Amino acid sequence: MALKISLRPNERMIIGRAVVTNGNTTATLIIENKVPVLRQKDILSQDDADSPARQIYFTIQLMYVDEGNIVTHHHAYWKLVQDFVGAAPSALHLIDKISEHILGERYYHALKLGKKLIDYEQEVLDRVCESS
């Protein structure tokens, strides 16, 4: 089944390993084969991976779009989550769900949960700041 995507003017996305930027008008793309697809709102740059949860998200993103280096990305992921759970054991339930998707090679689903991990990290930081 084809995937139909409408891009807003100047919106960027990743299709496979290519970064695509739309022109000045709305465009509709139809992706007819199975390739990694990430819209601009779901793309995290390396510079923006400035917290442990964001680094985990970025690593999952690399797994999704750069399967040629999957072993390297998996090693990085497991090290990052080990450190994350060590610092925030309350996140284990979410890390377990993400890891399940990683092991099943469902990287897009892992990314969606990665956004929840980023939100969770922010909630924890906000609580710490409030109690100080």
Q: Is 64 within 8 Å of 36 (Cβ atoms)?
A: yes
Beta bridge partners of 4: 30
Position 31: which residue type?
Answer: I
Closest CA to 114 of 62, 36, 72: 62
Q: Please give the pLDDT value at position 1.
A: 74
Domain ranges of the chain: 3-42, 46-131
List the chain residues with pLDDT less than 70.
Answer: 132
Query: What is the per-residue pLDDT for 130?
Result: 80
pLDDT of amino acid 129: 82
pLDDT digits (tens, 9 = 90+) for 44-75: 999 999 999 999 999 999 999 998 999 999 99
